[in-house]
Structure 1
Amino acid sequence: MAGVDQILDTNTYGGRTPDATYPTRSSSSDSAEDALKNRHGRPPGPTIQIDTDMLELAGNMTLRELVGQMTQIQIGMLLDGRGRLDLTKVQYWIGEWGVGSFLDTPTKLDSVHGANYVDGSVLFPQQIGLAATFNTILAYEAGRITAKDTRAAGIPWVFAPILDVAVHKLWPRVYESFGEGKYATLKGKYAFALSFELTDPHLVSEMGSAIIKGMQGNYKKDRTRVAACMKHFIGYSASHNGQDKSSAWIPDNYLMDYFVPSFQAAVDAGVATAMETYIDVNGQPVVSSHFYLTELLRHRLGFQGMLVTDWQELDRLYTEHRTAPSLKDAAFQCLKQTSVDMVMVPESESFSVNAMALVQERKLDKQRLVESVAKILQLKKDLGLFEQPLSDPKLLPSVGSQQDIEAARNAARESITVLKNDKSVLPLVRSMKTNGRIVVTGPAANSIRALSGGWSIKWQGASDDSWYQGRGETILEGLKKEFGASTILHKPTVDFDGNPDGDANSKDFLKAIKGADTVILCLGEKPYAEIVGNIDSLDLPFGQLDLIRKVKAQIQGTSTRVVLVLVEGRPRGLQETAGMVDAIVMAYLPGPWGGHPVAEVLSGTVNPSGRLPMTYPSGPSDMTTNYYRSGVDPYNPLFPFGAGLSYSKVEYRDLTLGNPTLHIRRCGVSQKNEQECDEADDVELESKNDVTVEGSQSKPTSIVADVTVQNTGNRAVKETVFWYITQDYRSDVMPEAFLLKGFDKVSLAPGQTKKVQFTVTRAALAYHSRSLRKKIEAGSFTLTVNAMRPEVQSVKFTVV
């Protein structure tokens, strides 16, 4: 096993003084609409620059001061046994070691679905639910409010958003992701590889970019905004066994096409910081990887912001990954081989001690530390900490405002997804005249903590509803508001583990549902976060599934309807019970204010518009099957990506192309200059007759497609139009069955008709070959609207 002296000549990150200036977005408006408009143009790029005074300050620091700035410690190291500040510990960590940052309660940075550790703040749906809205404006607003409330507590930096794409459905962090939607198109030139330009970002890219813009705004001047942190770079969600922190096996071309784009989108949106991931990818721990953290992150993606490790990740090189025989060797591997700037230690002085020793022993150049500390100091300056390091009391009155609560409710309303609605049993009649009783049961029926999930007040979620201090509404409370308290009968049955719920009597419940108009079963998962949420089977616990079976047997031959509401962070297995209920409503984890919106969807007050941002598997064999699979992989999920029903019928017709052919010039030897190559999207064009096509007005290099959508129902509806592109044949890497390239959410009044447009560009057709060349192969393609949905339409076009 290699020690410090055996690792030879690995370049420090870049070997450059970080003094570059980057382009910034100028905008006179701070509205969500203005911040997100022109999304199909060139993104603004990073907004980080290192000022001369910060370079001088870092350069004049002592070695101890430098390692202190690079050290992050959890706040508990400053507290006594009663949770009070211990001044002796403060003197040790700050006075002696000069620690530069602290994390964890009470100043937690992980504001992952609202300022989840700030008392009174409004929590939004978890990211998987926010993704189901397919509404970037809602994501922007969630980011803006999260930033404002976090700043009110004096915290200027958050560890959000998560940009990992959900791959394995067992993974306990699925709910923290924006789903499995993939692909963005990339561009640019470096000496050793192609890099990227975002043109038509997919779901994770669009939602991630929107929430980053909401969080950051003009954070260098606006003190209601924070620095965002894209995480976890990279491949974290692709653990081969679905368990948290397990190894990921990802072919490099798949990494480039499916995992990199959401992070590229974040870089192009100007994200200030990044966090590397816990895991190893293809056997190489990311935290010590020159390829992943320098070549890929810094050079290819162009990220120049501040990079922090995840919790105790440096130590794991020694304790778990076993690539270093000591903590000192672990520090050397990380600092010598990567571009990490800050180390979340988080409970010892080991990094500081070892980093100092490595410089003193001349095994590491002091300049390596100066480069990182310059970025750390610049971030602090940009956030105004040199001017005013304390919280702003003026922000406190806005925390938990009614306006913010309504924003959270609106996000929940648009996230809730009706997956099944046999014989249009939904919406339920609000004023039932006969047999109007609704019986409600299940562990999620009367629980705010269940609606919120993990990372809510506490890491593993609140222990009970009392932690919310009345801030929120359960599904049961929402149902009583919608249907009247006298109509609703609540009967506890089982808990989240499927065991009897306290003194609940199953016979009493089964007797109560006789003659009921509707039985609403609120099932799902109890709160969890990270490794605590590891499970071996996707199926809901036996007791929950058996409750469905018992209800079905009890109402056999009656007119009683059964509605299943799923409150869960990942798609839990239903076995054969999916066929035993009349309707299935996916609530995800809608947050503490999500209970009433669920009831509004059931009653019809809200016309549901949520769509599945992930594939809902039908069994254990397809837990890693995603919609963008290759054509040889079977795809028979319980519900496909994009599934979701409304109470209005929307008809699609007249999918047309402005022209049937898209022309591309070959990038390379035929171009006269670099600009001309860039205009050709920096891709390699391959065909049997590989010739140069000169660009001209008569040979279009993009195709405009449009489709007509009409609301033929009697309710207003918000309809998501999905655009997919499939290459019909590809000679080297098999083409995907479908690949999401864009989406539009349109509002339609009853009877209203709208035309929705989508532009197919050359860059939207590129992919990475096995050699990691980004290229386009000429031939036939299919543009599909609403693939995997009943309204599917498609049309062919040709690339020459």
Structure 2
Amino acid sequence: MPELRRRTLLSAIGVTAAAGSVATSQATVAHAADGGREAPYESEVRSLLSRMTLEEKLGQLQQLPWAYDLNPGSGSTKEVEDAARSGRLGSVLSIFGARTTNALQKLAVEESRLGIPLLFGLDVIHGFWTNFPIPLAQAAAFDPDVARSDAEVSAKEARSNGVHWTFAPMMDVTHEPRWGRIAEGNGEDPCLTSRLAAAKVEGYQGSGYRTKDRLAACAKHFVAYGGAEGGRDYNTVDVSESRLRNLYLPPFKAALDAGVATVMASFNTISGVPAHGNAHTLTGILKKEWGFEGMVVSDWTGVQELIAHGFAEDGADAARLALNAGVDMEMTSTNLLTNGRKLLRSGKITEKRIDDAVARVLGLKYALGLFDDPYVDESAAITEPSANARKAARAAAARSMVLLKNDAGVLPLSRSVGSLAVVGPFADSADLLGTWVVPASAEKFPAVKILDAVKRAAPDAKVTYARGVDPEGADTGGIDEAVAAAKAADVTVVVVGEPTAMSGEASARSDISLPGAQEKLVTAIAATGKPFVVVLVNGRPLTIGDWLERAPAVLEAWHPGTEAGNAVADVLFGAVNPGGKLPVSFPRTVGQIPIHYNHESTGRPYDANNKYTSKYLDLPPTPQFPFGFGLSYTTFDLGTPKLSRANVPAGALRKGDTVEVSVSVRNTGDHTGDEVVQLYVRDVAASITQPVRRLRGFKRVTLDAGRSATVRFPLGAEDLGFWTNDPNGEFRLEEGTFKLYVGTSSTADAELTLTVT
């Protein structure tokens, strides 16, 4: 079946794979290198397909939901069980547990005609039993190893419990902090998101997901979901081809190059065409241009929703449009299974396309080893976080925190402090895991509370606790108690932020300030005149009120996961020197949105002395905190950056040549610490207006006091060129002048000039 063989495409401009041409995945490299022999499992898939009825084929394209903790035979599971027995079911989602999955798998393998095993999927987003910090927090580490560590631990725990497939990583770049699902992604930059997406795919899948400690990954949501208008989930996205390819698509290409097994379609429209029915993106770009031969799954009822979009007339029409566009498996709704025979008979879908979709599903099952060993060892199931998993989660959480402010060196706190007040609605709360957590893990293994961890970190201190206010309520009656505690203490830790339920899917907010009366609590603590620290726990950028000016120190802790309290205490007391950076800009007010560093220029860029330029009358042009920003308990100095060549022929770059930017970084303070050196590029004049800056390199380095290191960044065609508005995809590197900026945030001011001739 030629559809199973990966296509090897060459870029029209002859640049390297990283610059935009299609690179083959792990599974295809061997096939391409051996002169065209069959791809792995192709003969097995072809043989099985030849024995399948149409109903069995359509069944393989159907995924039905489970209910997490139900067991087969409970009564409410009858639909799934009957479908498994009859061989008319390909996959089940939201199911886990070695005993449960084995029991359901047995129905499919031992009672159906062909014994085709089921594929079990679950939203393992940032942990299974052991929850790591939310993905947005992981991005703040500016360290792909953090994402990789999460995926490795998650895969081991989940696979031992019968899960084969995770619906992660999410790689939706967004400029919209009101969007709840910003918590699930990596922020506003495609370069950072691409690096993390590849790392997470590698962590989940390893060198092959056939082993019992790995999962098949899923790149989602394809594509442009992060551009939802107004930040409202599931909303419209109207996007040009160039922005689609330059902003939203690069992380997906990086995931494919890392060998990602599956891709999930997104809920949104893309310039008027719903993603689930978008042949241009799902087939034209993903399957033909990029040569992806893995499986595309719909999102929950995404095929059915083509009707609500006004794109399909009924279920049969929705099934036709989705399958022909490139969706291979339908999640939850059953339009293809119900209408497939009728659609085939009428010629609206083809047997060739059905076989292609089924082959992709079966190929994944073979790659997972399910035909050889469909069950899991119930005695080997991991039932709780291990000590090593907790250690990794704790390190990841601390590495992801961002120090936003630290006047007069309030932090780190001394472990010998005499007295501490710990106040706020999240000080004694376990609601720190963040969005998309397996319900059973939250119940069995709640987050370590910050209050408890602070007490352990300063065992000799007198620690007083006061809640002050509720997370969302307007009642200020408890503030007096918190103020009294602050007045009596040497220093106060104020823990405020968002409840988990305020971020994630279907959790858009029109007001992204601290909820309820929390700002009043911070203001009241500030009025005591005593030293205090604000710890923010949240799933998105927040608009920080006037209290910021009066707060001596602010630590962005995000939703840190299972080891939340311990990680926060590690940073507060200096066991870990914070080195994280913001992966997304923090706006001053909601009215300033969108406010992101990688915006395009206008004909009238901001000028403080000219009213008739692009700005607000009542706000500065800058965000509250810029992308890439973050402080440390030590200080760093960057030397003068150097460029290996100031002039380079475009032709050489297109053939894979690079230029190098190097810069020395020195720890000028008294503590060992981390700095993230960042490289940004601006194309001064291009045939399509380019962002004022684009992140093209970053490196997190750890240096002892007084020590230095040299950081080097290669720049190639992929870093300097861009995709045009050609719907067939044209990557272009143009001659001209490029400004290069090196520093420790997106406001970097050390400048170099590169000329491409």
Task: Give the TM-score, by structure 1 length.
Answer: 0.82
Checking the alignment, whether the CA contact within 8 Å between 2:156 and 2:214 is kept in structure 1 is yes
Checking the alignment, whether the CA contact within 8 Å between 2:498 and 2:515 is kept in structure 1 is no
1:737 maps to what in 2? 692
Which whole-Å CA distance do the structure 1 matches of 2:197 and 2:473 have between them?
Answer: 35
Shift, 1:399, TM fit: 5.1
1:468 maps to what in 2? 444
Within-5 A mapping of 1:527-676: 527-528=500-501, 530-553=504-527, 555=528, 558=529, 560-631=530-601, 632=605, 635-665=621-651
Within-5 A mapping of 1:696-711: 701-711=657-667
1:135 equivalent in alignment to 2:143: yes
Shift, 1:756, TM fit: 1.0
Change beyond 3 A, Cα 1:568–1:282 = same
1:196 maps to what in 2? none
1:62 equivalent in alignment to 2:53: yes
2:710 maps to what in 1? 755
Supply the AA of the counterpart residue of 1:222: T
1:322 maps to what in 2? 310
Checking the alignment, whether the CA contact within 8 Å between 2:433 and 2:447 is kept in structure 1 is no
2:681 maps to what in 1? 725
Which whole-Å CA distance do the structure 1 matches of 2:193 and 2:579 have between them?
Answer: 18
Which whole-Å CA distance do the structure 2 matches of 1:720 and 1:574 have between them?
Answer: 24
Q: Give the number of equivalent residue pairs.
A: 695
Match of 1:113 among 110, 126, 135: 126
The Cα offsets for residues 266-318 of structure 1, whole Å up to 9 and x where unpaired, read as 00000010100011111210101111111121122322110000000111011
Shift, 1:221, TM fit: 4.0
Within-5 A mapping of 1:427-442: 427-432=412-417, 436-442=418-424
2:735 maps to what in 1? 778
1:344 equivalent in alignment to 2:331: yes
Which whole-Å CA distance do the structure 1 matches of 2:213 and 2:723 have between them?
Answer: 40
2:723 maps to what in 1? 768
Checking the alignment, whether the CA contact within 8 Å between 1:442 and 1:523 is kept in structure 2 is yes
Which whole-Å CA distance do the structure 2 matches of 1:351 and 1:576 have between them?
Answer: 55
Supply the AA of the counterpart residue of 2:514: L
Change beyond 3 A, Cα 1:664–1:108 = closer
Change beyond 3 A, Cα 1:444–1:313 = same
1:421 equivalent in alignment to 2:421: no
2:82 maps to what in 1? 92
Equivalent position SS for 2:56: helix
Which whole-Å CA distance do the structure 1 matches of 2:68 and 2:336 have between them?
Answer: 15
1:366 maps to what in 2? 351
1:176 maps to what in 2? 184
1:357 maps to what in 2? 342
Give unmatched runs, 5+ long, in structure 1: 1-15, 24-37, 116-120, 183-201, 667-677, 682-700
1:443 equivalent in alignment to 2:425: yes
Which whole-Å CA distance do the structure 2 matches of 1:41 and 1:88 have between them?
Answer: 48
Change beyond 3 A, Cα 1:40–1:61 = closer
Larger deviation, residues 251-260 vs 543-552:
543-552
Checking the alignment, whether the CA contact within 8 Å between 1:70 and 1:341 is kept in structure 2 is yes
Equivalent position SS for 1:232: strand
Supply the AA of the counterpart residue of 2:242: N
Checking the alignment, whether the CA contact within 8 Å between 1:562 and 1:581 is kept in structure 2 is yes
Percentage of matched positions with identical amino acids: 30
The Cα offsets for residues 457-490 of structure 1, whole Å up to 9 and x where unpaired, read as 339x94xxxx134x54111111111122643211
Change beyond 3 A, Cα 1:387–1:236 = same
Change beyond 3 A, Cα 1:410–1:39 = farther
Which whole-Å CA distance do the structure 1 matches of 2:20 and 2:384 have between them?
Answer: 34
2:12 maps to what in 1? none
Checking the alignment, whether the CA contact within 8 Å between 1:652 and 1:708 is kept in structure 2 is yes
Which whole-Å CA distance do the structure 2 matches of 1:510 and 1:236 have between them?
Answer: 44
Shift, 1:651, TM fit: 0.7
Which whole-Å CA distance do the structure 1 matches of 2:313 and 2:335 have between them?
Answer: 15
Which whole-Å CA distance do the structure 2 matches of 1:46 and 1:276 have between them?
Answer: 22
Supply the AA of the counterpart residue of 1:128: L
Shift, 1:787, TM fit: 6.0
Change beyond 3 A, Cα 1:206–1:146 = same
Which whole-Å CA distance do the structure 1 matches of 2:70 and 2:161 have between them?
Answer: 18
1:18 maps to what in 2? 3
Shift, 1:88, TM fit: 4.7
Checking the alignment, whether the CA contact within 8 Å between 2:232 and 2:508 is kept in structure 1 is yes
1:75 equivalent in alignment to 2:66: yes
2:13 maps to what in 1? none
Change beyond 3 A, Cα 1:293–1:746 = same
1:27 maps to what in 2? none
The Cα offsets for residues 579-633 of structure 1, whole Å up to 9 and x where unpaired, read as 1211111011110212111111111121111110111111123322211112336
Match of 1:715 among 651, 658, 671: 671
Within-5 A mapping of 1:269-418: 269-318=258-307, 320-336=308-324, 338-346=325-333, 349-393=334-378, 395-396=380-381, 400-418=385-403
Supply the AA of the counterpart residue of 2:665: V
Shift, 1:128, TM fit: 0.7
Supply the AA of the counterpart residue of 1:339: G
Supply the AA of the counterpart residue of 1:268: D
Shift, 1:789, TM fit: 6.3
Which whole-Å CA distance do the structure 2 matches of 1:54 and 1:128 have between them?
Answer: 39
Checking the alignment, whether the CA contact within 8 Å between 1:46 and 1:272 is kept in structure 2 is no
2:108 maps to what in 1? none
Change beyond 3 A, Cα 1:782–1:565 = same
Change beyond 3 A, Cα 1:299–1:367 = closer
Equivalent position SS for 2:235: coil
Give unmatched runs, 5+ long, in structure 2: 9-17, 29-38, 97-119, 606-613, 616-620
Change beyond 3 A, Cα 1:63–1:411 = same
Checking the alignment, whether the CA contact within 8 Å between 1:78 and 1:90 is kept in structure 2 is no
Which whole-Å CA distance do the structure 1 matches of 2:335 and 2:651 have between them?
Answer: 55
Q: Over the residues paired in the alignment, what is the CA RMSD in angstroms?
A: 2.6
Match of 1:480 among 447, 455, 474: 455
Shift, 1:22, TM fit: 7.8
The Cα offsets for residues 750-799 of structure 1, whole Å up to 9 and x where unpaired, read as 11111111112233210123446321221211111126468742211211
Change beyond 3 A, Cα 1:218–1:357 = same
Equivalent position SS for 1:665: helix
Larger deviation, residues 436-445 vs 167-176:
436-445
Match of 1:152 among 160, 164, 182: 160
2:115 maps to what in 1? none
Match of 1:47 among 13, 17, 27: 27
Supply the AA of the counterpart residue of 2:47: E
Checking the alignment, whether the CA contact within 8 Å between 2:274 and 2:306 is kept in structure 1 is yes
Equivalent position SS for 1:313: coil
Match of 1:793 among 746, 750, 754: 750
Checking the alignment, whether the CA contact within 8 Å between 1:416 and 1:585 is kept in structure 2 is yes
Within-5 A mapping of 1:161-200: 161-182=169-190
Checking the alignment, whether the CA contact within 8 Å between 1:496 and 1:526 is kept in structure 2 is yes
Supply the AA of the counterpart residue of 1:572: L
The Cα offsets for residues 358-377 of structure 1, whole Å up to 9 and x where unpaired, read as 11333321221111111111
Which whole-Å CA distance do the structure 2 matches of 1:153 and 1:52 have between them?
Answer: 30
Equivalent position SS for 1:798: strand
1:224 equivalent in alignment to 2:208: no
Equivalent position SS for 2:755: strand
Larger deviation, residues 132-141 vs 262-271:
132-141
1:260 maps to what in 2? 249
